[in-house]
Structure 1
Amino acid sequence: MSKNIETTGAVIHVLDEGQGDTALVFLHYWGGSARTWRHVVAQLKDRTRCVSLDLRGWGRSVALDGRYDLDAMAGDVSEVIASLGLTRCILVGHSMGGKVAQIVAAKGAGALLGLVLIAPSPPTGMPVPAGVREAMLASYQNAEGVNEALKILCHRQLPEEDRRQVVEDTLRGATGAKREWTTTGMLARLDGIAGIGILTLIAVGDCDQVERADSLREIYGEILPAAEFRILPGVGHLSPLEAPADVAEACSNLLSAVAAG
Structure 2
Amino acid sequence: MPEIPLTFLALHYWAGAGHEFDQVAALLAPGYRLLAPDLGGFGSAPLPAGGLTVDAYADAVAAFIEQEKLRRYVVVGHSMGGKIALALAARQPAGLLGVALLSPSPPTPEPMTDHDRQASVQAWGQPGEAAKTARDITARTLPARLHQQIVADNLRTTRAAWEAWLLHGSRENLSARMSAVRVPCTILAGDQDPVMSPSVHGLETLPLLPAGTPLEIINGAGHLLPYEAPTEVADLLRAFAGRCQAATV
RMSD: 1.4
Cα distance in 1 between the residues matched to 2:54 and 2:204 = 20
Cα distance in 1 between the residues matched to 2:50 and 2:155 = 18
**Does structure 2 retain, via aligned residues, the 8 Å contact 1:138–1:145?**
no
**Does structure 2 retain, via aligned residues, the 8 Å contact 1:96–1:121?**
yes
TM-score scaled to structure 2, two decimals? 0.93
Cα distance in 1 between the residues matched to 2:48 and 2:100 = 29
Cα distance in 2 between the residues matched to 1:107 and 1:66 = 18
Cα distance in 2 between the residues matched to 1:231 and 1:103 = 24
Residue identity opposite 1:254 in structure 2: F
Cα distance in 2 between the residues matched to 1:121 and 1:71 = 14
Q: 1:64 to 1:78 in 2, by over 3 A?
A: closer
Q: How does 1:45-194 map to 2 (within 5 A)?
A: 45-65=29-49, 67-190=51-174, 191-194=176-179
Shift of 1:189: 0.6
How many residues were matched structurally? 242
Shift of 1:61: 1.1
Q: 1:54 to 1:221 in 2, by over 3 A?
A: closer
Residue identity opposite 2:240 in structure 1: L
Structure with greater strand percent: 1
| Structure 2 residue corresponding to 1:253, chosen from 222, 239, 247 | 239
**Does structure 1 retain, via aligned residues, the 8 Å contact 2:185–2:213?**
yes
Runs of 4+ more than 4 Å apart: none
| Structure 1 residue corresponding to 2:180, chosen from 186, 191, 195 | 195
**Does structure 2 retain, via aligned residues, the 8 Å contact 1:203–1:229?**
yes
Percent identity, aligned pairs only, is 31
Q: 1:64 to 1:107 in 2, by over 3 A?
A: closer
| Structure 1 residue corresponding to 2:222, chosen from 227, 236, 240 | 236
Shift of 1:230: 0.5
**Does structure 1 retain, via aligned residues, the 8 Å contact 2:92–2:180?**
no
TM-score scaled to structure 1, two decimals? 0.89
* Larger CA deviation: 22-31 vs 192-201: 192-201
Cα distance in 1 between the residues matched to 2:10 and 2:232 = 15
| Structure 2 residue corresponding to 1:33, chosen from 17, 20, 43 | 17
* Larger CA deviation: 101-110 vs 138-147: 138-147
Instruction: Determine the structure 2 residue equivalent to 1:210.
Output: 195
**Could you say which structure has the greater relative contact order, defined with CA pairs below 8 angstroms and 6 or more residues apart?**
2
* Larger CA deviation: 96-105 vs 223-232: 223-232
Cα distance in 1 between the residues matched to 2:50 and 2:96 = 28
**Does structure 2 retain, via aligned residues, the 8 Å contact 1:139–1:148?**
no
Cα distance in 2 between the residues matched to 1:69 and 1:222 = 24
